């Protein structure tokens, strides 16, 4: 499969200012005082590696979220945007974002679950044209899914 011919300026579509900002100044970077759920995300193909921490209360509301790790601009920005997004959401709503983001990156705008407004997360859309980078953008989201599921099913980043 031949990657379509892109011009250099298209790179701006991948590395939008919002992405670069979140990559350089990741929000919620570090550990939490209280962690109820966590998961590691590893992208074996490129070496990106991060750990996501959640503090979920008894009503299944994500009170706090944070992450640690190292990765490329795309994976760090995506993790940073994730934490910004999910704080305050119920775990069900957070999973709706998981569905929406992964669908967006798979080029499937319909999503496969509850409709959500992606908001800032639309900045990740440029990654779609870079198939090798889609896994970077979804890494944190797979960690989210694993973390939320961890009481019931074994963690998996696939």
Partner 1 sequence: MTQARQLNAGQTAVAACRSDFPALDQDVNGHHLVYLDSAASAQQPSAVIDAMTRYESHDHANVHRGVHTLSHRATDAYEGARETLRGFINAASTREIVFTSGTTESINLVAQSFCRPNLGPGDKVLITHLEHHANIVPWQLVCEQTGAELLVAPINDKGEIVLDALYALMNDEVRLLAIAHVSNALGTINPIKDIIAEAHAQDIPVLVDGAQGVPHMQVDVSDLDCDFYAFSGHKMFGPTGTGVLYGKEALLDAMPPYKGGGDMILEVSFSGTTFNELPYKFEAGTPNISGVIGLGAAARYLEKIGMQQIESWECELSEYMTQRLSGIEDIRLIGTAAHKAGVQSFLLGDIHPHDLGTILDHQGVAIRTGHHCAMPVMEYFGVPGTARASLALYNNFDDIDRLVEALEKAKEIFA
Which residues are near partner 1 by CB under 8 A? 1-3, 5-8, 10-12, 14-15, 20, 24, 42, 44-49, 70-74, 76, 130-133, 136, 158
Q: Which is nearer to partner 1, 73 or 89 (CB)?
A: 73
CB 108, min distance to partner 1, A: 18
E-strand stretches of 57-131? 62-70
CB 85, min distance to partner 1, A: 22
Residues 55 and 64 sit within 8 Å (Cβ to Cβ):
yes
Q: Which of 80, 77, 120, 114 is nearest to 97 (CA)?
A: 114
Q: Which is nearer to partner 1, 14 or 116 (CB)?
A: 14
Q: Which is nearer to partner 1, 70 or 112 (CB)?
A: 70
Q: Which is nearer to partner 1, 76 or 121 (CB)?
A: 76
Q: Which long-range contacts (CB under 8 A, 24 or more apart) does 45-49 make?
A: 45/135, 46/72, 46/135, 46/136, 48/72, 48/75, 48/136, 48/139
CB 105, min distance to partner 1, A: 15
Residues 30 and 55 sit within 8 Å (Cβ to Cβ):
no
């Amino acid at each position: 499969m031949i990657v379509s011919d892109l011009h250099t300026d298209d790179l701006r579509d991948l590395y939008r200012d919002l992405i670069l900002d979140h990559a350089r100044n990741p929000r919620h970077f570090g550990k939490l005082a209280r962690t109820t759920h966590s998961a590691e995300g590893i992208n074996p193909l490129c070496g990106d590696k991060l750990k996501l921490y959640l503090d979920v209360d008894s009503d299944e509301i994500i009170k706090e979220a944070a992450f640690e790790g190292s990765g490329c601009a795309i994976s760090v920005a995506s993790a940073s945007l994730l934490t910004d997004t999910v704080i305050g959401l119920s775990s069900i709503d957070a999973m709706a974002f998981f569905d929406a983001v992964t669908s967006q990156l798979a080029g499937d705008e319909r999503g496969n679950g509850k409709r959500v407004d992606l908001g800032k997360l639309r900045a990740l859309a440029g990654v779609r044209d870079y198939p090798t980078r889609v896994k970077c953008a979804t890494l944190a989201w797979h960690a989210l899914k694993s973390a939320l599921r961890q009481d019931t099913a074994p963690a998996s980043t696939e």
